Structure 1
Amino acid sequence: MKSIIYLLLLCSLFSCKPEIKDHYIINGTAKGIYNGMRAYLKEPNERGQLINKDTAIVLDEKFSFKGVRNEPTLEYLYIDGHKNYLPLIIENGAIDIAINKDSIETSNVSGTTNNKEYALYSKEQRQLNTRIKTLTNQFKKATIQNATNKSELYKNIIENRKKLSNLNLDFIKNHENSYVSAIILNSIITDKQTSITDLENLFSGLTEAIKNSEYGKYINASILKQKQLRQQQKGIQIGDMAPNFTANTPEGKPLALYDIKGKVTIIDFWASWCGPCRRENPYVVKTYNKFHEKGLEIISVSLDKNGQKDRWIKALQDDNMSWHHVSNLQSWQDPIARSYGVRSIPATFILDASGKVIAKNLRGSALENKIAELIY
């Protein structure tokens, strides 16, 4: 009995609070924010658009939110009349926020472990970004004035960018059980300075609880999507096996690359509206006529647009292109061009009999000489 009385006395003296586990409560102080102003918790939807999750009204420079989250979520606190926002992690527990009305994004957040970690990380990140911005402005000014310190400024910019990159990677590696690590990992997935291998290794290092969470599953899917996107952007390189594809001929019949492969095969990406392509066509015609009977095959993939099939067919006739032709009539959205990483035309891939790419983007006499080398 004496122990209970003693514990109650301690709690009365030091404001003991029961630990909250089944819901969250946000206690906000908003010094200088007028009564009636609204505070919003927002979260991006699948399209990246911010939607309201909850709303609170400021009264006597205070506001509060209460609710339940099955797992931590990164959300954004907005306050009427302020364009900036405060990122914070909503998770079950007591979260305290002291609003800085002049700089919402620097408001103090405390209470839960994830928010303490995120606040420390965000502070260091802001400091590095501010330093980089200041150095960049100084470098621009030094460049205009041709100042002697511009090389040193540029060196400092690179060093601080490296520190920022290392800040992200080191935090994730050293906090494998932190939800903050998942947030940071998600933020760098599209940063091409971080390799796919590094992204996969960082994700693999997280605890099973985080990897198996809904957010963890989302991150894993995002990494896979980024991996596929980078592969498409990289395109097919010399030494790669050319992926098979099928598309419709001008007659509307499906034709596959592997159906027409010869001793040497040229995949030619072009379009009737492409001036450089049309100027290149006479060289391709000459090469085809000279080597077709000796084993050369060509399949041209047109990036003509939907509704312009007639223009495509007319260009074939006008340019005497008597080899194989296919098109999805989807212009730059053509799935074949995207899978091969084609971002400009004309573009050519030369394949050997096995389907391996042995040369790329040869034009004019260089194309003819390469085919002669391979045929004979």
Structure 2
Amino acid sequence: MIKNVKWFFVVLVFSSLISFSSTKKSVPTEKLALGDKAPELVLCNEMQPLNLQDASGNYTLLSFWASYDASSRAQNAALSHLLKNQDQVKMISISFDRYRSVFNAAVRQDQIDTASCHLEMEGENSKIFKSYGLESGFRNFLLNSEGVIVAKNVTASELASYLN
């Protein structure tokens, strides 16, 4: 009986070691780093790319969000309200909602400027989603006048202190 129990534990330890050694650890990587040029933005329902460069020398804030992601939606609304009367930063807000009705309701409820808000209905399958590395969550990017990333995941309070 004791011999059988010993072999059982030997087999259990051996199989555990094999399973631990064969599992791959996923190392989170950032697709875009500070100093990188922001990828071009072409939405599924628009023919022309959105201009990420600003000839007047101002900044552009790209905010990616969806109504089903409460934190990204709240962050987008806070940034939009902060930049409502600012000339230093142009905001481009991109939602990944699947339905225009849901998108329109969120924009109306959050009182977001519709001129700066766009809808990408292809969601996770879109080129934008993949090129900006949004698989690990929605975020925002602050770009300089040449379209180069100078900050990521900026909060409304950080942006307010930056503007002052």
State whether TM-score is above 0.5.
Answer: yes
Tell me the matched-pair count.
146
The CA deviation at 1:327 is: 2.7
Which residue does the alignment assign to 1:299?
Answer: 92
Matches within 5 A, 1:127-142: 134=14, 137=17
TM-score of the pair, normalised by structure 1: 0.34
| Correspondent of 1:339 among 110, 116, 131 | 131
| Correspondent of 2:38 among 242, 245, 256 | 242
Supply the AA of the counterpart residue of 2:103: W
Matches within 5 A, 1:71-110: none
The CA deviation at 1:280 is: 2.0
Structure 1 residues 295 and 364 mapped into 2: Cα distance closer, same or farther (>3 Å)? closer
Deviations along 1:126-163, one digit per CA (max 9) or x if unpaired, are xxxxxxx849549x9xxxxxxxxxxxxxxxx8xxx9xx
Please identify which structure carries the higher strand content: 1
Supply the AA of the counterpart residue of 1:266: L
Would you say 1:284 and 2:79 are equivalent positions?
yes
CA contact (8 A) 2:52 2:60 kept: no
The CA deviation at 1:344 is: 4.0
Supply the AA of the counterpart residue of 2:97: D
Name the CA distance, whole Å, in 1 between partners of 2:52 and 2:65. Answer: 21
Name the CA distance, whole Å, in 2 between partners of 1:328 and 1:310. Answer: 13
| Correspondent of 1:257 among 25, 38, 50 | 50
**Structure 1 segments unaligned to the other structure (5+ residues):** 1-132, 141-156, 162-190, 194-232
| Secondary structure, aligned partner of 1:358 | strand
CA contact (8 A) 1:270 1:277 kept: yes
Name the CA distance, whole Å, in 2 between partners of 1:365 and 1:296. Answer: 14
Q: Percent identity?
A: 21
Which residue does the alignment assign to 2:8?
Answer: none
Which residue does the alignment assign to 1:349?
Answer: 141
Q: Which moved more, 1:259-268 or 1:329-338?
A: 259-268
Which residue does the alignment assign to 1:360?
Answer: 152
Deviations along 1:302-321, one digit per CA (max 9) or x if unpaired, are 1112xx11111221122111
Matches within 5 A, 1:186-335: 234-247=30-43, 253-258=46-51, 261=54, 263-291=58-86, 294-305=87-98, 308-322=99-113, 323-335=115-127
The CA deviation at 1:255 is: 4.8
Name the CA distance, whole Å, in 1 between partners of 2:17 and 2:46. Answer: 59
CA contact (8 A) 1:260 1:297 kept: no
The CA deviation at 1:347 is: 0.5
Query: Which structure's relative contact order is higher, taking Cα pairs within 8 Å and 6+ residues apart?
Result: 2
Name the CA distance, whole Å, in 1 between partners of 2:136 and 2:94. Answer: 13
